[in-house]
Amino acid sequence: MLQEMKLEDALKKFLQGKKVLVMYDESLKNDGTEFIVEALEKMLERNRYLVDVPAIEDFEFKQEVEQMVKTEKSSTKAVKKKLVDLPKNKSKLDDCQEEIIQMLKDGKSQYAIAKELGVVQSTVTHWMARHGIDKQGNQKKCATCQYRETSPGKGGCDYIGKTGHRRGCSVENCDKYVEDKHEKAAAPGL
């Protein structure tokens, strides 16, 4: 038999070894600013404590949880295997570079590309930044140039800073480009 009680009475029963089911109202209302203690007190007031609740086993729910756990374990193994198979500094998207550039030139969004390739959008965004590819599919040489700015939060060409000379050309038509031999070391783990 279910018997609703106040917090103090429910705690006494719990200390006597009885099982107590706590039911709570999940809709927390923001009544302005308040200290955490006040918020907890309000939450405890909304809780309902039921003592001596018989356990009812739901076999269908139990089977679904077991299936979910099995699926999660097998998908985790598959992900680990794929991670092990990829060589260092190589992205899954590197093999699709021309395809991605063409999709961008066709006007597809990063989200649409990610969905088509079976990855999340941030993977496509990060891959594009790493390879110096803009949203229109144009590849900037600065991303792999030895004269690029490498300070955190910076980017682009630093030819003047590194050589003391003006570049005299646009980024798109740069004639000072020299491939950075250490480019792979600049982006570890990708």
Provide the residue-wise pLDDT of the chain in tens; the chain has 190 residues: 556 777 788 778 878 887 776 665 555 555 555 566 677 777 777 666 666 655 556 677 677 777 777 776 655 555 555 555 545 566 777 777 788 888 888 888 888 888 988 888 888 888 787 777 777 666 666 666 766 666 655 556 666 666 766 666 665 556 666 666 654 444 444 3
pLDDT of residue 158: 66
CA distance 105 to 143: 19
Looking at the DSSP bridge assignments, the partners of residue 23 are 48
Tokens representing 77?
Answer: 């193994």
Query: Is 133 within 8 Å of 102 (Cβ atoms)?
Result: no
Tokens representing 25?
Answer: 């109202």
CA distance 66 to 60: 10
Query: Is 119 within 8 Å of 92 (Cβ atoms)?
Result: yes
Q: Is the pTM of this model over 0.75?
A: no
pLDDT of residue 117: 86
pLDDT of residue 75: 57
> Greatest CA span in the chain, whole angstroms?
87
CA distance 13 to 52: 9
Nearest to 124 by CA among 108, 141, 106: 108
Backbone angles phi, psi at 139, to 5 degrees: -95, 125
Tokens representing 59?
Answer: 């076999």
